[in-house]
């Protein structure tokens, strides 16, 4: 019998129309989108289904939107498919904002609270650094040691740090724009396969996000967080967590901390997981998992057809 981990995607997986087919087919999915709309006091679902893409991609919209799609998929699996999450799934994990979706999936907090926290998180991250002062870049075909060397050298021009250790030779760096520009030049001089700027508006998961970390520390300090029914792997530690206070601290530190996705996958496989199921929009995490460990199975569920196929496989 397969040992499952459910994973939840982060920013960059959004697309106009995501979740729409699911909402049309299942009342349970529609109810999730309504919960998010009600929590935010606006029709975010209209933006999710109809766009425009520029509005959906805005950090303050993309974060709650991606969580909404993930939770819509999960709710359909549970209510229409009869999936017993706690009985069938061993671990939960999410990439950056996806950690909030993972925690909502595990009932550490409800959908409405997750939507409000992610809206605030998106706004705070956007405001932390003036537009144009910070950025991010992806390094492809690089080791962690090489990426650390690149960041150290580039920081002479402006602070540059590893934001995401995604695995499979993919590392994302974050920092001052001058540092990012220098890092790309250094990477090319070192013979790194690819180094390219990412189309993001702020240097996420870097020390430059400290103002946003402070905002989230206050908000999470007031948030009701329960023990999740399935343990969640934390981004900043790559360790299994169930304690509510530790989860709270990890979410605060996650704003400026490194997303340790490669290590998180290794932790999950070390705990016996052999099948990773990406819940929500896109297939980014499934692809990363396959590159990190070709021995495991990785699939994604985002449409009614995906739901049907997965439930038949159980």
- Angle, helices 111-127 vs 210-222, to 10°: value is 160
Which residues fall within 8 angstroms of residue 30, CB to CB, at 6 or more apart? 23
Given 96, 159, 206, 300, the catalytic residue: 96
Q: Is 205 a catalytic residue?
A: yes
Pick from 162, 154, 160, 155: nearest CA to 134: 160
> Residue 92 forms beta bridges with which residues?
6, 232
Q: Is 260 left (phi over 0), alpha (psi -120 to 50) or beta?
A: beta
Report how far residue 1's alpha carbon sits from residue 5's, in angstroms, rounded to the nearest whole number.
13
Report how far residue 290's alpha carbon sits from residue 299's, in angstroms, rounded to the nearest whole number.
9
Q: Exposure string (b/e) for 117-131, b if CB count within 10 Å is 16 or more?
A: bbbbbbbbbbebbee
> Residue 275 forms beta bridges with which residues?
4, 297
Given 95, 174, 205, 206, the catalytic residue: 205
Pick from 44, 34, 170, 32: nearest CA to 101: 32
Residues designated as active site: 96, 205
């Amino acid at each position: 019998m397969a040992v499952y981990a459910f994973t939840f995607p982060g920013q960059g997986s959004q697309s106009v129309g995501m979740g729409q087919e699911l909402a049309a087919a299942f009342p349970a999915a529609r109810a999730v989108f309504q919960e998010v709309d009600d929590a935010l006091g606006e029709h975010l679902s209209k933006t999710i289904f109809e766009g425009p893409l520029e509005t959906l991609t805005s950090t303050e919209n993309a974060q709650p939107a991606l969580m909404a799609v993930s939770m819509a998929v999960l709710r359909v699996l549970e209510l229409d498919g009869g999936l017993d999450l706690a009985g069938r799934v061993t671990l939960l994990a999410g990439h950056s904002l996806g950690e909030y979706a993972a925690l909502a999936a595990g009932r550490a907090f409800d959908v409405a609270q997750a939507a409000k926290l992610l809206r605030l998180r998106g706004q705070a991250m956007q405001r932390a650094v003036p537009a144009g002062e910070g950025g991010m870049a992806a390094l492809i075909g690089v080791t962690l040691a090489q990426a650390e060397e690149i960041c150290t050298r580039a920081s002479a021009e402006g602070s540059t740090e590893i934001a995401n250790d995604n695995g499979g030779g993919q590392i994302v760096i974050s920092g001052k724009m001058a540092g990012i520009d220098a890092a790309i030049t250094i990477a090319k001089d070192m013979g790194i396969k690819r180094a390219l700027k990412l189309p993001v508006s702020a240097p996420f998961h870097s020390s430059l996000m400290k103002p946003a970390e402070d905002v989230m520390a206050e908000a999470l300090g007031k948030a009701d967080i329960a023990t999740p029914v399935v343990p969640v792997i934390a981004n900043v530690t790559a360790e299994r967590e169930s304690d509510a206070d530790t989860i709270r601290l990890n979410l605060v530190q996650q704003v400026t901390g490194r997303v340790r996705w490669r290590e998180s996958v290794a932790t999950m496989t070390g705990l016996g997981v052999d099948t990773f199921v990406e819940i929500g929009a896109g297939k980014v995490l499934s692809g990363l998992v396959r590159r990190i460990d070709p021995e495991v199975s990785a699939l994604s569920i985002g449409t009614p057809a995906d739901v049907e196929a997965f439930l038949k496989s159980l």
